[in-house]
Chain A
Amino acid sequence: MEFFISLWEALPAELQYLIWTLIKIIVIVAPMMLAVAYFTYAERKIIGYMQVRIGPNRVGPKGWLQPIADAVKLMFKEIVIPTNANKVLFLIAPAITLGPALAAWAVFPFDEELVLADINAGLLYILALTSVGVYGVIIAGWASNSKYAFLGAMRSAAQIVAYEIAMGFALVGVLVAAGSLNLGDIIKAQQGGLFSWLWLPLLPLFGVYVISGVAETNRAPFDVAEGESEIVAGFHVEYSGMLFAVFFLAEYANMILISALTAVMFLGGWLSPFQGWPVLGPLFDWVPGFVWLVIKTAIFMFLFLWLRATFPRYRYDQIMRLGWKVFIPITIVWIAVVGLAVVYQLPWWFD
């Protein structure tokens, strides 16, 4: 042990910093991957129960080992690369999708102190990274050299550009209301229990953000990029084995990210919902902030599955209409309202 400590101290300071950061990244990413694996299990179970079935129940007790079995299966499947596909782009497309979904967690505050990079422009950083994720879909669709994949990519590109604007404007409302781009400060600006959180003064933006989030992650009812019944499986028709699994991981990692971000922006992140309340406040003081964050995130993760089991797929022109003609005007109007409320220090939230 002493030997290792002396070996560690012999390293140059910058190398130490690099290694230490890498360890922190692993500490965030490894549980993320586990969460993604069990999120897929939860999806199959929950949708199963919603459709009066049982869902996976064969592998392990109650089917708990199903995601592991799926992962092993996908790892051993052959990766087929279509003829005339652009090989390099075909192979890096899944990585481009997964990378931003994981990198965005770098600025995410898990707790009052627990954050990898506590940067000032955290909100902008997340917006930028989520906007880069679309390239994975576009490149995959183009590089596959397949009509269906290409159609899926085109649909996805148009859809994500449309909804990103609404999403960005919803977040502009959040940063005006909280007065900061730092995610930790945004949470701290929501001190004071359930009704002090930003979801109430920013209710329209909250709705727009959640729905745009569903559209951004290409989930039902906005899953036209995949559209099994129309274009087979959209942008990832030609993908098999581990490459397909990476797309799958990215989709679920993005869903968890959007859920967690909704919890941070509108529902006070790691703050207790009963903070500062007469009886309930002290009663729940012992609960660590991380638990509240997980509960809030889980609510939105469940919402994603619930929506998928409930709604039929949107028609494409209706998606475009909703994004451009409904959401963007709503957000612009509400940003003006929030601006006025902040300038005139509307009591309860902005005084």
Chain B
Amino acid sequence: MTLEKLIFYVLAAVVILAAMMVVTRRNPVHSALFLILAFVACSGIWMLAEAEFLAIVLVLVYVGAVMVLFLFVLMMLDIDLAVLRAGFIKMLPLGVVMAVAMAAELILVVRAENFGLDKYAAPARHAADYSNTEEIGSVLYTVYMYPFEIAAVILLVAIIAAIGLTMRKRPDTKYLDPTNQVLVKRDDRVRMVSMDAEKG
């Protein structure tokens, strides 16, 4: 077994174990941390597939930013585990049906006879100076220019919508305007008075 294969199997095992832990752990913070582990191991596998740009961006965006905010919210939530578990038996039949349906779909698509080296030949190795980043960039900004820009606009709309939905003025909140605070001068706050000294 070559070193590369060994690394692949270790990373694959970590991804599967971590993914299983995500759905089985009771504590949502643990689940989120295992999800992060799965992302990191997954990015290692992408790295082995010579997709270094995607691998690094997975860590940078999902691990470095998205999951931080996820954790931020999860840690703030006061989750009562008893309430979460209360409806388990009642929902179990529906859950089993869903699980069986999804498993059947997956098995239909991801079957051994649909894969293998005769169906998809092993991709050729690239030279050491091959830059995945440049390749993706050159395709993304020429061939797929319009889909890329449309995706960007949709994301922008989503951002504006999210801000618009959550921005509401509450009259009871005390709000400080930092600009006014920064612009404040000494004369606005301090008044010099001259007083006669008291005798006595």
Selected from A17, A124, A138, A150, the residue in CB contact (under 8 A) with B56 is: A124
| A324–chain B nearest beta-carbon distance, Å | 11
Contact B29 A142 (CB under 8 A): yes
Knowing A139-B33, A142-B29, A318-B178 are in contact, say whether A160-B3 is a contact too (CB < 8 A). Answer: no
- Distance of A132 Cα from B57 Cα, bound (Å): 12
Contact B29 A158 (CB under 8 A): no
Q: Collect the chain B residues with CB atoms within 8 Å of residue A153's CB.
A: 75
Smallest Cβ-Cβ distance to B71: which chain A residue: A138
Contact A119 B60 (CB under 8 A): no
Query: Does B15 sit at the interface, judged by CB under 8 A?
Result: no
- Distance of A258 Cα from B145 Cα, bound (Å): 35
Chain B 50-90 interface 0/1 with A at a Cβ cutoff of 8 Å (1 = within): 00110011011001110011011001100000000000000
Knowing A89-B33, A139-B33 are in contact, say whether A18-B68 is a contact too (CB < 8 A). Answer: no
Selected from B60, B69, B72, B76, the residue in CB contact (under 8 A) with A131 is: B60
Selected from A14, A128, A317, the residue in CB contact (under 8 A) with B60 is: A128
Knowing A89-B33, A158-B72, A318-B178 are in contact, say whether A164-B65 is a contact too (CB < 8 A). Answer: yes
Query: Does A38 sit at the interface, judged by CB under 8 A?
Result: no
Selected from B56, B64, B68, B176, the residue in CB contact (under 8 A) with A125 is: B56
Contact A121 B68 (CB under 8 A): no
Smallest Cβ-Cβ distance to B72: which chain A residue: A157
- Distance of A213 Cα from B56 Cα, bound (Å): 20
Selected from A119, A134, A317, the residue in CB contact (under 8 A) with B68 is: A134
Knowing A120-B131, A164-B64, A181-B133 are in contact, say whether A128-B56 is a contact too (CB < 8 A). Answer: yes
Smallest Cβ-Cβ distance to A154: which chain B residue: B72
Q: Which residues in window 36-57 of B have CB below 8 A to A?
A: 36, 40, 52-53, 56-57
| B191–chain A nearest beta-carbon distance, Å | 25
Query: Does B2 sit at the interface, judged by CB under 8 A?
Result: yes
Q: Collect the chain A residues with CB atoms within 8 Å of residue B57's CB.
A: 124, 128
Which secondary structure dominates chain A's binding surface? helix
Query: Does B132 sit at the interface, judged by CB under 8 A?
Result: yes
Q: Report the count of interface residues on B (CB-CB < 8 A).
A: 27
Query: Does A161 sit at the interface, judged by CB under 8 A?
Result: yes
Q: Collect the chain B residues with CB atoms within 8 Å of residue A157's CB.
A: 68-69, 71-72
Knowing A18-B3, A128-B64, A154-B75 are in contact, say whether A119-B52 is a contact too (CB < 8 A). Answer: yes
Query: Does A248 sit at the interface, judged by CB under 8 A?
Result: no
Q: Collect the chain B residues with CB atoms within 8 Å of residue A24's CB.
A: none
Selected from A119, A150, A181, A321, the residue in CB contact (under 8 A) with B178 is: A321
| A261–chain B nearest beta-carbon distance, Å | 15
Contact A317 B3 (CB under 8 A): no
Q: Which residues in window 148-181 of A have CB below 8 A to B?
A: 150, 153-154, 157-158, 160-161, 164, 168, 181
Most B CB contacts (10 A, CB to CB) among A89, A124, A128 go to A128
Chain A 111-149 interface 0/1 with B at a Cβ cutoff of 8 Å (1 = within): 000000001110011011101101100110010000000
- Distance of A129 Cα from B55 Cα, bound (Å): 12
Q: Collect the chain B residues with CB atoms within 8 Å of residue A125's CB.
A: 56
- Distance of A142 Cα from B70 Cα, bound (Å): 14
Chain B 114-158 interface 0/1 with A at a Cβ cutoff of 8 Å (1 = within): 000000000000000101110000000000000000000000000
Contact A161 B68 (CB under 8 A): yes
- Distance of A158 Cα from B71 Cα, bound (Å): 11
Knowing A157-B68, A164-B65 are in contact, say whether A121-B178 is a contact too (CB < 8 A). Answer: no
- Distance of A326 Cα from B137 Cα, bound (Å): 29
- Distance of A327 Cα from B68 Cα, bound (Å): 21
- Distance of A127 Cα from B56 Cα, bound (Å): 9
Contact A131 B33 (CB under 8 A): no
Knowing A124-B60, A142-B29 are in contact, say whether A14-B2 is a contact too (CB < 8 A). Answer: yes
Contact B60 A121 (CB under 8 A): no
- Distance of A188 Cα from B71 Cα, bound (Å): 40
- Distance of A285 Cα from B176 Cα, bound (Å): 56
Contact A124 B53 (CB under 8 A): yes
Chain A 314-337 interface 0/1 with B at a Cβ cutoff of 8 Å (1 = within): 000110010000000000000000
Smallest Cβ-Cβ distance to A160: which chain B residue: B68
Q: Collect the chain A residues with CB atoms within 8 Å of residue B60's CB.
A: 124, 127-128, 131, 168
Most A CB contacts (10 A, CB to CB) among B56, B63, B69 go to B56
| A71–chain B nearest beta-carbon distance, Å | 30
List 8 tightest A-B contacts by C-beta distance, closest first: A131-B64, A128-B59, A128-B60, A14-B3, A124-B56, A120-B131, A128-B56, A321-B178
Chain A interface (Cβ < 8 Å from any Cβ of B): 14, 17-18, 89, 119-121, 124-125, 127-129, 131-132, 134-135, 138-139, 142, 150, 153-154, 157-158, 160-161, 164, 168, 181, 317-318, 321
12 A-B pairs, CB-CB below 8 angstroms? A89-B33, A120-B129, A124-B133, A128-B59, A131-B59, A131-B60, A131-B65, A138-B75, A139-B33, A157-B68, A157-B71, A317-B178
- Given A120-B52, A131-B63, A134-B68, 7 other A-B residues pairs in contact with their CB atoms under 8 A: A18-B3, A89-B33, A124-B52, A124-B53, A150-B75, A157-B71, A317-B176
